[in-house]
Amino acid sequence: MKLSISVDLAVSGLIYIVVAGFVAQIGILTPYLAADYGVDATVAASQFSTLTTGFFLGTVLAFFLLDFLSVRLAIRLYALVVLATTATMIYSQSLILTSVLFAITGFCLGVSTCLAGMLVAKGKEGKAREMSFIGLDAAYNFGGLIFPALSAYVLMQSKTWELSLLIVASLTVWILFLSFGLKDDYEKEESPEGESPNFSPVWSHGVLVAGTALFLVIVAKYSIVLWLPQYYQEHLSYTLQEAAELVSTIFGSALVGTVLGVLIVARMRLVYFIVFVLTAGLFSSVLLSLSLGYYAALGAAALYGLAIAALYNVFIAYGLNYVHRPSHKHVSFVIICSGIAATIAPALSSAVVSSFASIRVVMLLSPLLYLAAITLLLVHQAFIKLSTISDQDSTRLTE
């Protein structure tokens, strides 16, 4: 099945590239921001936390905010505000003002992920929708790949860290331009005919299961990524460069995985794909917790990257498959579950390490979380099948 690049998909993809462009540069820009304002690197890094905090608040408040704004108007406001706040950073002489600008920008980015999900949910159906959601993960990984390198080039030429962010924000000009090709109001679209009887007109067990499973997977993912370098250095005597190479391999493999995911989902039921990649995540996370040689560890890291490549938006697609009329609230709920997981994962994993005085325990926790997510999905599918059989039996009795 071919996936056509429509206006709504182009806007959604650009939104995710912009999000990645801001997030992926934090580590690179921190020293330059510190030098610009004459503060310690830790103080500079904390300013970027206002960006991530604003992002999380944006995903939460989008649940309510989009009750009052049409998708098209919200996208235009988002594009204009991100461009304005980023441009203002160039002229800011106050660290406090810059922090506020980061918070506003992060808030808009958080809202934009929900908007991107709504464009795909309303603009695509069936397999095209599933492939499009995985395509958003590919767009994010693409942005995370190109902007750090571009930022490094800009910094070497001009030493102006704000310019690196402004280049990313300039993509919102294209988003603003493309928004004129969007439909008037996605919230007022009528549902297509011939829906599955498993669909619900309001909330659905599918959305709740998708959000819960994604929560478990994100906690597992961050637990591995956060502690993997230290675990391999302290327990397996790896050098810092070798440990860093493992993390780079995970994210490099993830970009390949998102492209492969689009092709695979076109030929496979979405639930089979999710269970397959979760199983790969379970298996590879077990391997990463073992005492592996360097090249074996790289192979396990590559497999883990493939496993986590498309597990963000694919759960949104899974949940929406059981909703009669997709709403921004359904998309926001799943995204919020992910945001909560990403927020608590560092503290939760740190508490586990402190309690057991061992990093290996948290490395072994990740496979258990994957197992819980797989079990939840299988139980959900069994519930759907039993409900369908029960409905068929009831129909026969009434005939």
Q: How confident is the model over 293-309, as pLDDT tens digits?
A: 888 888 998 998 888 87
346 has pLDDT over 90:
no
pLDDT of residue 4 exceeding 60, the answer is no
Q: Rounded mean pLDDT of 8-30?
A: 85
Q: What does the CA dihedral 141, 71, 328, 25 come to, rounded to 10 degrees?
A: 30
Q: What is the percent of the chain with per-residue pLDDT over 90, rounded to a whole number? A: 21
pLDDT above 70 for 111:
yes
| Cα distance between residue 120 and residue 331, in whole Å | 10
**Mean pLDDT in residue range 33-61:** 81
Q: Please report, for residues 60, 122, 315, the alpha-carbon distance to residue 323 in angstroms, rounded to integers and kept in the order given.
A: 20, 12, 13
Mean pLDDT of all residues in 89-107? 90
pLDDT at 193: 44
What pLDDT sits at residue 398? 53
Task: Check: CB of residue 163 under 8 Å from CB of residue 28.
Answer: no
| Dist. CA 207–CA 15, nearest whole Å | 23
Bigger pLDDT: 42 vs 288:
288
Residue whose token pair is 């061992």? 358
Residue count (the chain): 399
Question: Quick one: pLDDT at residue 202?
Answer: 56
pLDDT given for residue 213 in this prediction? 94
Average pLDDT over residues 354-380: 89
- Cβ–Cβ < 8 Å for 125, 192: yes
Say if CB 235 and CB 364 are below 8 A apart: no
Whether residue 226 is predicted with pLDDT greater than 80 in this model: the reply is: no
Q: Cα separation of 9 and 103, whole Å?
A: 27
Is pLDDT above 50 for 201?
no
Q: Give pTM, 2 decimals.
A: 0.73
* pLDDT reported for residue 390: 62
Nearest residue to 311 via CA among 110, 111, 136: 136
Mean pLDDT of the chain: 81
| pLDDT interval class at 209 (50, 70, 90) | very high
**Looking at per-residue confidence, does 55 or 198 come out higher?**
55
If one counts every other C-beta atom within 10 angstroms of the C-beta of residue 231, the result is 22
User: Is 199 a residue whose pLDDT tops 50?
Assistant: no
Average pLDDT of span 339-367: 82
Q: pLDDT grade, residue 216 (50/70/90)? A: very high
Element (H, E) at 187: none
